Amino acid sequence: MAKHRRGRINDEVVKEISAILREVKDPRVSSAFISVTAAEVTPDLKYAKIYYSLLTGDEKEVSKGLASSSGYIRRCLAQSLNLRITPELTFVRDGSIAHGAHISELLHKIEQDKPKTEDEGAEENEDA
């Protein structure tokens, strides 16, 4: 039962923090395009890791901006979620989207470099 509840809380935290990040006035955060990919709340709900992906902006500056505005984000989260304890937020950069894009580029490059003789040989076998 606890896993289902934590899963729902994780989903709600992701949704709410995504909305809250649009309202943050810190220029390090507001000027960057940040996407919240996941949230991981501890079983006692005291701590939460927020995984984010960064598409534009300086990585170090955005990290500092998120750390400095975590109190404001936590306060807004407490107002929007009805939890007894609002977790302390830790922001962690998620490189999975960038890694996936890199893998996609490699696969696309392999597809372009594939010799045409293999394709022509397959067509000749189908005709026979």
pLDDT in tens, 96-117: 777 888 888 888 888 888 776 5
Tracing tokens 């992906």 back to the chain, one arrives at: 53
pLDDT for the residue numbered 118: 55
pLDDT in tens, 24-59: 998 888 888 888 999 999 999 899 999 998 887 788
2-94 is classed CATH 1.10.150.20: no
**Residue range 121-128: average pLDDT?**
55
**Residue range 78-94: average pLDDT?**
91
**Contact (Cβ atoms closer than 8 angstroms) between residue 85 and residue 37:** no
Is it the case that residue 62 has pLDDT exceeding 50?
A: yes
Is it the case that residue 2 has pLDDT exceeding 70?
A: no
% of the chain with per-residue pLDDT over 70 = 88
Strand partners, 114: none
In this prediction, residue 82 has a pLDDT band, given cuts at 50, 70 and 90, of confident
Instruction: Using DSSP, state whether 48 is helix, strand or coil.
Output: strand
| Domain parsing of the chain, residue ranges | 2-94, 96-128
In this prediction, residue 14 has a pLDDT band, given cuts at 50, 70 and 90, of very high
Is it the case that residue 122 has pLDDT exceeding 80?
A: no
Cα torsion 88, 76, 66, 45 to 10°: value is 20
